[in-house]
Structure 1
Amino acid sequence: MNGNIRKNIRIGATVDVVLKKDQPTGRLTRGQVARILTGSATHPHGIKVQLQSGQVGRVKVIVEEAPSE
């Protein structure tokens, strides 16, 4: 699923992000969303999130939706 649309991303979802330091190479880091940092509904480079590991990056791929509560 597309990581450019904020409403597609949920807390706890597993995502692949590009960290700031990895932007030149495009290397992806997998993790679970702890916080959604981008306030706008969309962003052309991906919605910025903080992973549960504390790393911050832009979502490129939503791997798995967060479990429903």
Structure 2
Amino acid sequence: MPGTKRANIKPGIKVKVVQKQDQRSGKLTEGIVSTILTNSATHPHGIKVRLESGIVGRVKEIMSN
């Protein structure tokens, strides 16, 4: 499931995000959402979140609800 809709993303779910420095390569980082940083309902490049590990990135894939 793509991570472009804020309604699909909740703290505690497992996601794959792309970090700012990895946008060119497309390298994804897996983790658990701790905070949702994007205020708008949708974002074309993915909703920005902070993972429990402290990594900030845009959600590219939602692993589980």
TM-score by length of 1: 0.92
Identity %, equivalent residues: 60
Post-superposition shift, 1:2? 1.7
Q: For residue 2 of structure 1, what is the aligned residue in structure 2?
A: 2
Tell me the SS of whatever aligns to 2:21: helix
Structure 1 unmatched runs, 5+: none
The CA distance in 2 between the partners of 1:2 and 1:17, in whole Å, is: 11
The CA distance in 2 between the partners of 1:25 and 1:5, in whole Å, is: 23
Q: Which amino acid aligns with 2:28?
A: L
Q: Which runs of 4+ in 1 moved over 3 A?
A: none
Q: Which amino acid aligns with 2:48?
A: K
TM-score by length of 2: 0.98
For residues 17-39 of structure 1, give each alpha carbon's deviation from its aligned partner in whole angstroms, at most 9, with x where no partner exists: 00011011000000000000000
Tell me the SS of whatever aligns to 2:63: strand
Tell me the SS of whatever aligns to 1:64: coil
